[in-house]
Amino acid sequence: MPERSRVAILISGRGSNMAALIYASRAPDCSYEVALVTGDNPDAPGLDLAEAEAVPIVRIPGPILKNKIQYFSALQQVLDDHSIDLIALAGFMRILPTDFVGRWSGRILNIHPSLLPRYKGLGTHEAALAAGDKWTGASVHLVTNELDSGEVLGQVQVAVLPGDDPTSLAERVLIAEHQLYPRVLAQYAARPFDSGWIEAQVDALARELPEVGRKSSHGSPGWSVGGEKGKLFAIIADHHHGEEAVGLLVKSSGADEMSGLIEAQPDVYYWPKYYGASGWLGIKLNRRDVDWEQVGEWLQRSWELAAPRRLLEAGGR
């Protein structure tokens, strides 16, 4: 199993979702660990609970909280100090500044007590009851700069019962939240290491290029250009012959380029067994910080090296 993702949970209040995330993380096969609990309220009851559970907490002091710029720079520092990979908002009542969200893009999750896109913002249970909905629920989503609008990663439905009021409904939805959040966070934390997910990302990027088809190479998934008899330009080597990497193999200009890249960025590039000798460069993709734009550029370059001349001329390449 890859190293667990280090999660920071941000709370403002009682922290029942925080507790659910902490207890789920104690399963030996959980893909994340709670490396920090903090928030914008040094007296939040959830912080006392996390402390009692021996989870590292940071109480950011009152005077800093009053100044938005100071608060978010203190928070960034605390997150850096704890080497955080992912942030889970759990009843955190502050709107995050644009630059903070940008820096953590794709790495902040939130739980919201409605079936998004229905009922963003506060008062979700009142809204569901007023609309006469038979079902409501909870959603875990990625945080973007638009309130409660990032990609939904998971949802759970909860029935609205006759006689429900906002409090009774909130209580039942909360039970569902406690089931949903740990499951979705664990899946999301494991995703960068999942070969199937990695292959789907590469497939989507490869298919943006002209005349690309699938073709395997000695049983490994690959992509070719130029129809039936087309040439391979990308291969996924999934722990190939005992290698650690789930790697993308692309055509390089040769051994010199490969050695230079591997020496400069050994976390990113490697010399793949067997394939390296014929100019295939390995790019490690089972990492948390893959630059997918750069992967796209490598695919394009490799495509250009393999494409028949008519395609290069057609595209003015």
**Residue number with CB closer to ligand GRF (157 or 265):** 157
228, 261, 286, 301 from 255: Cα distances, Å:
29, 10, 24, 16
Question: Residue 90, interface with ligand GRF (CB under 6 A)?
Answer: yes
Amino acid letter at 197?
W
CB of 32 to ligand GRF, least distance (A): 17
Angle at 92 between CA 59 and CA 175, to 5 degrees: 115
Q: Which of 5, 16, 25, 41 binds ligand GRF (CB under 6 A)?
A: 16
CB of 139 to ligand GRF, least distance (A): 9
CB of 107 to ligand GRF, least distance (A): 18
Contact window for ligand GRF (CB under 6 A) among 16-24, 155-163, 184-192, 216-224: 16-24
Per rule CB under 6 A, count of chain residues that contact ligand GRF: 14
Question: Residue 39, interface with ligand GRF (CB under 6 A)?
Answer: no
Question: Residue 9, interface with ligand GRF (CB under 6 A)?
Answer: no
Question: Residue 226, interface with ligand GRF (CB under 6 A)?
Answer: no
Residue 112 annotated in active site: yes
**Residue number with CB closer to ligand GRF (175 or 268):** 175
Return the structure tokens found at 200: 């789907």
C-alpha span between 145 and 150 (Å, rounded): 8
CB of 229 to ligand GRF, least distance (A): 55
Identify whether the C-beta of residue 232 lies closer than 8 Å to the C-beta of residue 217: yes
310 by DSSP, 3-state: which? helix
Q: Name the burial class of residue 278, with classes exposed (0-12), middle (13-18) and buried (19+) by CB atoms within 10 angstroms of its CB.
A: exposed
Question: Residue 14, interface with ligand GRF (CB under 6 A)?
Answer: yes
Contact window for ligand GRF (CB under 6 A) among 10-18, 143-151, 219-227, 297-305: 10-18
Task: Compute, in degrees rounded to 10, the torsion defined by CA atoms 65, 69, 70, 73.
Answer: 110
| Contacts with ligand GRF, 157-176, as mask; x by CB under 6 A | -----------------x--
221 by DSSP, 3-state: which? coil
**Residue number with CB closer to ligand GRF (91 or 222):** 91
CB of 13 to ligand GRF, least distance (A): 5
143, 153, 304 from 89: Cα distances, Å:
9, 14, 43
Question: Residue 57, interface with ligand GRF (CB under 6 A)?
Answer: no
Question: Residue 137, interface with ligand GRF (CB under 6 A)?
Answer: no
Question: Residue 282, interface with ligand GRF (CB under 6 A)?
Answer: no
Q: Which of 82, 112, 178, 241 is catalytic?
A: 112
Residue 238: CB atoms within 10 Å: 18
**Residue number with CB closer to ligand GRF (118 or 287):** 118
Report which of 260, 258, 257 is spatially closest to residue 247, judged by C-alpha positions: 258
Task: Compute, in degrees rounded to 10, the torsion defined by CA atoms 125, 127, 132, 133.
Answer: -60
Phi–psi pair at 282, nearest 5 degrees: -95, 130
**What does the binding site for ligand GRF look like in residue numbers (CB under 6 A)?**
11, 13-18, 90-91, 111-113, 174, 177
Active-site positions read: 112
